[in-house]
Amino acid sequence: MFELVKINDSLISGFYDIRTNYPHRLEDFFKSLENDQFKARAWIADEFNRCVKDKKTRSANIIGSGFAFYDDLLIRTMNLDLITYYEYDPEVIQVNWKLFKHLRHKIIIDQQCMDIIHDRKFIRLAADVVINLSCECMFDSKILVHKAWDKDTIFCMLGSNSFKKGNINVHSNIDEFIESTALKDILYSGELRLRDEMKYLVIGKK
């Protein structure tokens, strides 16, 4: 029960920050809390655990998460620690710091505001897992996977969707998306229908 109180406090802190300092982002914030967002995170975490049987603690680089309240599910289910978030939006970084309040006393979370392509010499290269669930908003994943991280990265979790409006890198099916990742060892690939869009997920190794 006490843990739920702390989680709720984090959400309230994030909401208060949005309402006070970034009211123009309220719609984006509320969309990040929709049930479909939770379903997608649960699906992703479950598929990772099916692919990777051991429960060892893993470090992670997480790219372009947006408002990340539901990342709590990924972090707990996948047993992540020593996490670095790479986000280009400084407002998202400020709000997420409040949303992570209940986690920060347990695990190490860092946030970096940068363009991970142009500023890749400044990123933390070594991590057990690289997670990018917003590939539709970025260059082809092969650029991120093969240029931004070194060979010590063990797993890559890459997600995208079929929603075209406002996105620059949309794929019409899972096979197209797999090809765009250039991953050599695919552990899982699949789709999840959520209302008017299809979510794609690929888990693999470089």
Q: Which of 40, 68, 60, 54 has the alpha carbon at shortest distance from 159?
A: 40
Confidence bin at 144 (pLDDT 50/70/90):
low
Rounded Cα distance between 123 and 101, Å, is: 23
| Both structure tokens of 47 | 């598929």
Please report, rounded to a whole number, the percentage of residues in the chain having pLDDT higher than 70.
82
The distance in angstroms from the start CA to the end CA of the chain is 41
Burial of 191 (0-12, 13-18, 19+ CB in 10 A): middle
Rounded Cα distance between 90 and 44, Å, is: 26
Question: At residue 168, does pLDDT exceed 60?
Answer: no
Residue with tokens 């709720």: 8
pTM: 0.88
Average pLDDT over residues 185-204: 88
78-112 residue pLDDT tens: 999 999 999 889 999 999 999 999 998 889 999 99
pLDDT value for 30:
95
**Residues 49 and 75: beta-carbon distance below 8 Å:** no
For the chain, the farthest-separated pair of C-alpha atoms sits apart, in whole angstroms, at 46
Rounded Cα distance between 150 and 163, Å, is: 30
Residue 55 backbone phi and psi in degrees, to 5: -110, 25
27-67 residue pLDDT tens: 999 999 999 989 999 999 999 999 887 778 889 999 888 99
| Both structure tokens of 156 | 């890559």
Rounded Cα distance between 145 and 151, Å, is: 10
pLDDT value for 126:
75
Give residue 51's region: left, alpha or beta (phi > 0; psi -120 to 50): alpha
In sequence order, which residues have a C-beta less than 8 Å from that of residue 82 and are 6 or more positions away?
59, 60, 107, 108, 127
**Residues 29 and 67: beta-carbon distance below 8 Å:** yes
